[in-house]
Amino acid sequence: MGIENWGWIWTAIMPLAVILYYFFRKKYKDQPISSTLFWQETMKEIQASPYLKKLQHHLLFYIQLAALLLCVLGLLQPYFNSDTLEGNEFIFVVDTSATMLAGSPSHFEQQKEKMAGLLQQTGGKPVTIVKTGQSPEVLVRDERDLEVLEQAIEQLQISYETAQMEQTLLFAETLVDNESTVIHVFTDALDRTALAGKTDQVYVVHGIGEPLRNVSIRQFGLAETDGGMRAIVQVVNESSEPMSGTLHLSNGETEKESAIKLEPKEEILAPVEGLPTGKLWEAALEVDDDYNADNAMASYVQQPIDAIFIDSSLHELVASGFSSLDMKVTSLAPDQLANQKGAPIVTNQTELLAGDAPVLLMGRNDETASEAAGQIETTDHPLFTYAALEEVYVSHLYPAFKNYETIASIDGKPFIQVSPEGDLIVLADIQSTDWPLSPSFPLFLWSAVNELAGSESFLGFFQPNEHRSVALASTSGEWEIFKDSNYMASYLEGEGPFIAPAEPGIYDVTSGSESLKMIVQLSIEEKTLETGAAYQIGQAASEEETVRFSLVPGILLFILILLMAEWEVYRRGIALR
């Protein structure tokens, strides 16, 4: 603790003057009264407690003296020092993925409290706050005002999408201005290997090592059988203790439930037979665990596609891949494909993209391919849920289509795209890759067929905040998104990609009399909890090792309380006279 302004020490003369005033003030003596005119007033004075009267006079003196001494102390501007955070600038990277909702209080609330506490130790140095996600977002940049920073932290909300921490940290590094900048990462868990190569930057990871119980619904599938609908629910117990609960299946009209019990780290497939016919079903798990976001999942029964038309000019491995899926494959000459309907078309003719039938374009007949090199990078698209492409080699790529969404790329060049109408484009000939040798090839074809199948009443499966090109057309050109009859957002046709809501669940997408169902569901990564640790990598220099906190605001508040107490003592003293 210290004093900032000793020049005001002369004001200590004021409390000394008050003391002298009490020493030399006029004293009153008892005076006998010969008349009975003032007898009642005299009796009141005699009956009053002399000790209370004396105490009141002394208490008033002590309060006045204390208030004056505090005024002198306030003018001297006392303060105390506290250690500051290491570094001269700070970047707060905040994990807003769904797993941060785990725990009670949630990991997200715990990290928000920790951030608010660290702000008090920044000493007025600039702070930048970055939110994780597929597209990292800067909430505030180089802000010094504590009130603005505290408000930004208070307004943080869970986005439910995968954190994409590696991508977010690369983005945060582009905001670093000097070597003394420290990046604080607020998450539930971040492995040290993710920061192994970042030796030129200082990182402070605030992980949470609290072990939690979690039972999740990983997959939920439906199929039509002769005896009605059949559901299969994959349930996983991540906890280190046995867990039991109840599995509920509902289509809005019918509900069926079954009891489940899982041993530690056990995974089960729970089949439910004899469900009534219905397109949309929701599975909900009633269990006493510490993470509820992965306890529900919805599924929609789409009309299966068992036939497909393939351009005979394509490599025979394409037809073999579809044949392995037990599909009816019809090979047609290129000039016979334009009039085909009722099934998807697999071709390299770009002019067929303007037709009514869904198209899987593999290669291009209107461009020349150029050499390509590098690893395939994919986005969080349902097409790659089961088909991983990281090990696939591609030697040549065709030029990309403009204004098409890119969902896979090689060294920054588009590899797989989605058209605004929902057609799929693979910008490579199959013979230019080793893809058919990979198990992901038939899985990709199966996912592509399901993606092209679509439905007149179902828009599709989305991940939280997913940006996707969708085939929506209405007379008004505007679509509204509702959840449980509550308005959520609007989408204007042609005004950029369709953006899915953040919170998982079942949504209605309507325009006039048209209505489509849409399902938003968590990714697999957000259904797995991890425990982390707090650690630091690197060390940064600081211009100041301590931050100064003034005691003047607290002193002023205490003076105000003393003044109120002084008035009350004075009022009571007057009343007893």
Pairing between β-strand 181-186 and β-strand 137-143 as defined by DSSP bridges: unpaired
Q: Considering only CA atoms, which of 241, 244, 237, 240 is closest in space to residue 216?
A: 237
DSSP 29-55: ------SSTTHHHHHHHHHS-HHHHHH
Question: What distances in angstroms separate CA 475 from CA 278, 301, 419, 455, 515, one per listed residue?
Answer: 29, 28, 21, 19, 13
pLDDT for res 25? 55
Burial (CB count within 10 angstroms: exposed 0-12, middle 13-18, buried 19+), residue 456: exposed
Residue ranges with strand state E in 364-504: 370-371, 376-378, 396-397, 405-410, 413-418, 424-426, 458-462, 467-468, 478-483, 486-492, 498-499
Write out the two tokens for 61: 């003196």
Q: Considering only CA atoms, which of 416, 336, 346, 410 is closest in space to residue 376?
A: 410
Tell me the CATH class for 215-303. Answer: mainly beta
Distance separating alpha carbons of residues 297 and 505, to the nearest angstrom: 8
What's CA 460's distance to the chain center, in Å? 23
Distance separating alpha carbons of residues 536 and 18, to the nearest angstrom: 57
- The CATH label, of 3.40.50.880, 1.10.10.1200, 3.30.230.10, 3.30.70.20, for the domain at 307-453 is 3.40.50.880
Pairing between β-strand 307-311 and β-strand 328-332 as defined by DSSP bridges: parallel
**Residues recorded for the chain:** 577
pLDDT for res 17? 72
Write out the two tokens for 223: 């199929």
Write out the two tokens for 39: 């007898």
CB 275 within 8 A of CB 253: no
The pTM of the whole model exceeds 0.75 = no
Degrees to nearest 5, angle at CA 442 with 440 and 447? 90
DSSP 513-528: TEEEEEEE---GGGG-
CB 283 within 8 A of CB 220: yes
Amino acid at residue number 529? L
Q: Considering only CA atoms, which of 231, 199, 97 is closest in space to residue 504?
A: 97
Distance separating alpha carbons of residues 92 and 183, to the nearest angstrom: 6
Question: What backbone phi and psi angles, to 5 degrees, belong to 133?
Answer: 145, 180
Give the three-state DSSP class for 536: strand
Write out the two tokens for 277: 């016919």
CB 289 within 8 A of CB 213: yes
Degrees to nearest 5, angle at CA 470 with 464 and 472? 120
Distance separating alpha carbons of residues 18 and 61, to the nearest angstrom: 8
CB 361 within 8 A of CB 425: yes
- CATH 3.40.50.410 at 85-211+529-544, yes or no: yes
Blockwise average pLDDT, block size 10, the chain, 577 residues: 67 70 57 57 53 55 77 72 73 95 94 92 89 92 92 94 91 88 93 84 91 93 80 93 94 90 93 86 94 94 76 90 84 85 86 87 92 87 77 92 90 91 91 90 85 75 86 82 93 86 94 89 91 85 54 78 77 61
**Residue 358 CB partners (closer than 8 Å, separation 6+):** 344, 345, 422, 423, 452, 453, 454
pLDDT for res 49? 47
Q: To which residue do tokens 């939920």 refer?
A: 220
Distance separating alpha carbons of residues 221 and 6, to the nearest angstrom: 77
What's CA 190's distance to the chain center, in Å? 16
Amino acid at residue number 58? H
DSSP, res 369: -
Distance separating alpha carbons of residues 329 and 360, to the nearest angstrom: 14
Residue ranges with strand state E in 195-326: 202-206, 215-225, 228-237, 243-250, 255-262, 267-275, 280-287, 296-300, 307-311
Burial (CB count within 10 angstroms: exposed 0-12, middle 13-18, buried 19+), residue 479: buried
First to last CA, the chain: 45
Please check whether the two domains, 215-303 and 307-453, share a CATH topology: no
pLDDT for res 34? 57
CB 426 within 8 A of CB 378: no
Q: Which fold has domain 458-524?
A: Immunoglobulin-like (2.60.40)
pLDDT for res 111? 95
pLDDT for res 40? 60
Question: What distances in angstroms separate CA 77 from CA 3, 12, 93, 186, 294, one per listed residue?
Answer: 6, 14, 36, 36, 54
Residue ranges per domain, the chain?
2-24+36-81+552-575, 85-211+529-544, 215-303, 307-453, 458-524
